[in-house]
Structure formats: C-alpha cells, structure tokens
C-alpha cells in the first residue's frame, strides 16, 4: 500500500537507548510531513524496545513500526536491512531518513542498493521545493555544499548528520499508533552475530551529547597542550573537541575533530582555544548557543562568530579562567 507523502525515519538504538540524532530526524521529518500534508512514520528495530516508541511520538511520529526480536538487539546489517526493505516495499514512503552514524551509513548503503534508489549521504539540511525533497550535503571533501534532488525517488533516501537538524521540544502528551512487525529473518541468513559490546573505558564525555565543549587547535603548540584543554573540560563537565590541524598533527584522535569532515556539534557553550576559525571548522560548531574564542591574533576569523572574544595567549588566559570557574563552583 502506498504511503503517499509519508516521511519515514529509521530510529537508531544501542542497548535500548535511542540515539539523539533519531529525535533530530523525527523533528525534521515532522516539518517536511506538515508541508506535504503527510504523516511521520518511525521504524524501531531492537529487543524489548516497545517502550521507546512513546519517545518517538513525543518527537513527532504518527506511527511507529516496532520489530522486536532478540536477533535485532544489536545492529546487524543483514537482519536490519531485510526488515526495513520489506517495510519500505510494502508501504512505499516518499522519503526515508537514516542516521549518518557508522551503523546508519552501513544500513543505508545496502538498503538503497536493494531498493534500487538513490541515496544522499551525510546530509546537513533538508527542504522542500515544489513538494520535492532537496537535501544539502558536503561534497568534494567538504569544499562545497551540494543540493541533491531525487527525480526518480522510490523513496528519496538520506542519511542525516548528528546535530545538523534542530530537535524540537518533546511533547509527552502526544500518542500514536504502534504497529508490530513480524520478524522473518531465518537464523541461517544471519552471517554475523554480535556476541558482546564492550564500552570504551574512557570516561570522557562524548562530543555528540555534550552541553559544553572546550576545543583546542594548532595554537596549542604541541600535544601536551591538550592537558590544559582536558583540565578546563573537567572543571566545566565538558567534552574535549579539536580542530583538524590538531588531529592531523596526531595530538588527539579523530573522534574529537569538530568541523565539516569531523563532527557537527551544537552545544550550549563552545570554547575555542588556539583555533583560527577556518570555514571548515566553523561549519561544525557555528550553531553553538554561546561561543567563546581565545586567540592571540585579534584578526582571527573565529572572532567573527564568537559571542565573547579574548585576545591573548591561551596559556595565560585559560588557567585564569579555570581558577575563576573553580571559585564560582566552590562557592555554590
């Protein structure tokens, strides 16, 4: 049955916890569906995940297709793809959104090939023009932003970057229809099985979830500069970010990189230390609520997006800031 004008979102869950990007996609899907006078449908695959459907309604879903099976507890390319392929073929949504995460990218590629449809990967914005989806995505290594249209959509498929679409406030009073989907993947079809997931024992706050980020760039001078950045982050309960220059120099792992070819972040507070503010860095953090920049060059482009700019040596400024923040915290 054709689900004309419906916008579908494949929710991503790990250990039963739905990833924040799923709620951002639902909020984005709601806006598109309102313009199309269509509905928002979410697909939730996992094990013992029915309860999470409520959250999907709160963020704008009208229907949630729940496929619950112990073989779906952890992401599995073959099983997830088969379930989603069947649902899409049966319901023919107009638009299908998946997260541009490791799992979402893996699933979207295989699914698009099975459905023989196009896929716009790593999108940062979605809009409608004359009722047609226009997806914006970085291309040529992030040097330009391309607008992608889907003339032969069936459906129009996109993966969406985390923190790229704004998340609406949830409305817990919203309810919708839960549709239980039968799991019909034979055990023999599962070529791989995840036996155990071992969480990284870093204790660091992840960039994606952080409300505050303290970032360091080439201006740190050497890798030990990140000790000061980590101290500032620990004081503020913040995550540690970095520019690509710092990552490329091997001072900090890639997972900390903010920017066009790193993570897109949108925290309440972003403190950029020794970062010049190249376009590719700004692309990943300029939607932060408050930006503080510390740079010894008063002409540095980072000051053009900063709400508060401190012209000075970060090695003199940051220790004073840490001390003052500690005093405020201790006085509470």
**Minimum distance from residue 144 beta carbon to ligand FAD (Å):** 9
**Do 63 and 179 form a contact (C-beta atoms < 8 A)?**
yes
SS3 assignment, position 230: helix
Residue sitting closest to ligand FAD (CB): 259
Closer of 63 and 263 to ligand FAD (Cβ) = 263
In this chain, which of 41, 228, 300, 306 binds ligand FAD, going by CB under 6 A? 300
Q: In terms of C-beta density within 10 A (0-12 exposed, 13-18 middle, 19 or more buried), how is residue 204 classed? A: middle
Site string for ligand FAD, 199-228 (x = CB under 6 A): ------------------xxx---------
Residue 11 found at the interface with ligand FAD (CB under 6 A)? no
User: CA 189, CA 183: separation in Å to the nearest integer?
Assistant: 12
User: CA 180, CA 193: separation in Å to the nearest integer?
Assistant: 24
Stretch of residues binding ligand FAD (CB under 6 A), selected from 58-66, 163-171, 229-237, 260-268: 260-268
In this chain, which of 155, 281, 288, 321 binds ligand FAD, going by CB under 6 A? 281
In this chain, which of 88, 232, 245, 271 binds ligand FAD, going by CB under 6 A? 245
Residue 275 found at the interface with ligand FAD (CB under 6 A)? yes
For tokens 């692309």, name the residue: 283
Q: Dig out the tokens for 240 from the structure.
A: 């540690």
Which residues between 70 and 109 bind ligand FAD (CB under 6 A)? Answer: none
Residue 15 has φ and ψ, to the nearest 5°, of 60, 30
Nearest to 90 by CA among 3, 220, 206, 192: 3
Closer of 67 and 272 to ligand FAD (Cβ) = 272
Which positions ≥6 away from 249 have C-beta within 8 Å? Answer: 218, 223
Which residues between 113 and 142 bind ligand FAD (CB under 6 A)? Answer: 141-142
Binding site for ligand FAD (CB under 6 A): 141-143, 217-219, 243-246, 257-262, 274-276, 278, 280-281, 284, 294-297, 300, 313-315
């Amino acid at each position: 049955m054709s689900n004309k004008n419906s916008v579908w979102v494949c929710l991503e869950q790990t250990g039963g916890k739905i990833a924040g990007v799923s709620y951002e996609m639902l909020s984005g899907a709601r806006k598109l569906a309102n313009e199309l006078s269509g509905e928002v449908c979410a697909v939730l695959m996992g094990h013992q995940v029915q309860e999470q459907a409520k959250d999907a309604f709160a963020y704008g879903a009208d229907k949630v297709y729940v496929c619950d099976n112990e073989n779906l507890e952890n992401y599995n390319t073959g099983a997830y793809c088969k379930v989603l392929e069947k649902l899409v073929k049966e319901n023919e949504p107009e638009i299908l959104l998946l997260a541009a995460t490791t799992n979402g990218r893996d699933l979207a590629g295989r699914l698009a090939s099975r459905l023989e449809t196009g896929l716009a990967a790593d999108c940062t914005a979605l809009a409608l023009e004359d009722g047609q989806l226009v997806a914006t995505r970085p291309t040529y290594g992030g040097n330009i932003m391309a607008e992608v249209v889907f003339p032969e959509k069936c459906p129009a498929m996109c993966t969406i970057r985390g923190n790229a679409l704004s998340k609406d406030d949830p409305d817990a009073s919203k309810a919708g229809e839960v549709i239980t989907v039968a799991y019909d993947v034979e055990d023999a079809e599962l070529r791989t099985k995840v036996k155990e997931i071992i969480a990284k024992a870093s204790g660091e706050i992840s960039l994606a979830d952080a409300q505050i980020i303290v970032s360091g760039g080439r201006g740190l001078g050497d890798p030990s500069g990140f000790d000061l950045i980590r101290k500032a982050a620990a004081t503020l309960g913040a995550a540690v970010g970095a520019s690509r220059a710092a990552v490329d120099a091997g001072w900090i792992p890639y997972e900390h990189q903010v920017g066009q070819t790193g993570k897109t972040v949108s925290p309440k507070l972003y403190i950029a230390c020794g970062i010049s503010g190249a376009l590719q860095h700004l692309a990943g953090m300029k939607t932060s609520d408050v930006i503080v920049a510390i740079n010894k060059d008063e002409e540095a482009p980072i000051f053009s997006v900063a709400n508060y700019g401190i012209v000075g040596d970060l090695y003199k400024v940051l220790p004073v800031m840490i001390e003052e923040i500690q005093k405020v915290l201790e006085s509470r």
